[in-house]
């Protein structure tokens, strides 16, 4: 079945540091890929997405490129801020039906210190 | 304007009780979902409904019964609550086959 693997956390960075959060996936066909963010005490918000190979999703300074050859969708940001402290989830939606579920990675907690 | 709303936000109850969580979306989406987030933050699909019909049922105990009175609402009723049901439950909605938008979550604590 479909699966998503995220790097182990938590991650602690200083403000303005470069961020990379690794995400790889296993799926049949051509899934859509997503990054969701969960700020403390809140629900999930869509951060960015990519629906086909080589697409780059971007939002709020975050970027991720859909790499089919390496089955990866790593999240990057050039300069993190304290306000980026949150839990980040990589997810995929299979391409096997109109109502396919989201399969999530385990999430990684990012803490950014001033 | 809240797109996907859930009530209540917090729910504390005793083992053995029956409780319901409500979800409403005003986005005009035809598909709605329930996800469970455990204490380690892991998220897993429970149910999905499309136009009031059950589409996904992911090996959830039959104490959990979703109900969709119309395509804007998907409620979750839980019978005979157990300690292990303590979690955050998220509702989501989407147009068919497209991006899912999540509600704020309901934090359930079973004592």
CB contact under 8 A, A104 and B103: no
How far is it, in rounded angstroms, from Cα A52 to Cα A56?
A: 9
**Nearest CB to B45 within list A46, A101, A109:** A101
For chain A, state the CA radius of gyration.
14
pLDDT tens readout for residues A69-111: 999 999 999 999 999 999 999 999 986 654 568 899 999 999 9
Q: Which range among A24-33, A48-57, A88-97, A103-112 shows the weakest confidence by mean pLDDT? A: A88-97
How far is it, in rounded angstroms, from Cα A76 to Cα B1?
A: 31
Structure tokens at B17: 């009780």
For residues A28 and A93, is the Cβ–Cβ distance under 8 A? Answer: no
Q: Which residues in chain B have Cβ-Cβ distances shorter than 8 Å to A98?
A: 31, 50, 96-97
How far is it, in rounded angstroms, from Cα B95 to Cα B80?
A: 33
Determine the pLDDT at residue A97: 59
pLDDT band at B56 (very low <50, low <70, confident <90, very high): confident
pLDDT tens readout for residues B64-109: 999 999 989 999 999 999 999 999 999 999 987 778 999 999 999 9
How many CB atoms are located within 10 Å of the residue A69 CB? 7
Higher pLDDT, A70 or A1: A70
Determine the pLDDT at residue A15: 97
pLDDT band at B60 (very low <50, low <70, confident <90, very high): confident
pLDDT tens readout for residues B26-39: 999 989 999 999 99
Instruction: Give the Cα-Cα-Cα angle A105, B107, B8 (nearest 5 degrees).
Output: 130
What's the whole-number mean pLDDT along residues A54-69?
Answer: 96
pLDDT band at B52 (very low <50, low <70, confident <90, very high): confident
CB contact under 8 A, A99 and B42: no
Q: Please, which residues 13-72 of chain A have a Cβ atom closer than 8 Å to chain B? A: 34, 36, 38, 42-46, 49
Determine the pLDDT at residue A109: 95
pLDDT over 70, % of chain A: 95
Handedness of CA A109, B1, B2, B7 (dihedral sign): positive
For residues B70 and B23, is the Cβ–Cβ distance under 8 A? Answer: no
Q: Which of B79, B84, B71, B81 is nearest to B23 (CA)?
A: B71
Determine the pLDDT at residue B2: 66
Structure tokens at A62: 């975050």
């Amino acid at each position: 079945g479909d699966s998503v693997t995220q790097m182990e956390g938590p991650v602690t960075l200083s403000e303005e540091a470069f961020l990379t959060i690794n995400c790889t996936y296993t799926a049949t066909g051509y899934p859509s890929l997503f990054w969701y963010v969960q700020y403390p005490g809140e629900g999930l918000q869509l951060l960015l997405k990519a629906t086909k190979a080589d697409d780059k999703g971007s939002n709020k300074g975050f970027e991720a490129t859909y790499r089919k050859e390496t089955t990866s969708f790593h999240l990057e940001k050039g300069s993190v801020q304290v306000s980026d402290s949150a839990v980040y989830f990589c997810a995929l939606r299979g391409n096997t039906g109109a109502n396919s579920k989201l399969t999530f990675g385990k999430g990684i907690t990012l803490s950014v210190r001033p | 304007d809240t797109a996907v709303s859930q009530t209540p936000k917090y729910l504390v109850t005793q083992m053995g009780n029956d409780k319901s969580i409500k979800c409403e979306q005003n986005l005009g989406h035809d598909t709605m979902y329930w996800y469970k987030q455990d204490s380690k933050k892991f998220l897993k699909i429970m149910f999905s409904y499309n136009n009031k019909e059950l589409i996904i049922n992911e090996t959830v105990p039959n104490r959990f019964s979703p109900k969709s009175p119309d395509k804007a609402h998907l409620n979750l009723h839980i019978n005979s609550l157990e300690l292990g049901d303590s979690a955050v439950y998220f509702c989501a909605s989407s147009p068919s086959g497209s991006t899912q938008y999540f509600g704020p979550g309901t934090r359930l604590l079973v004592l």
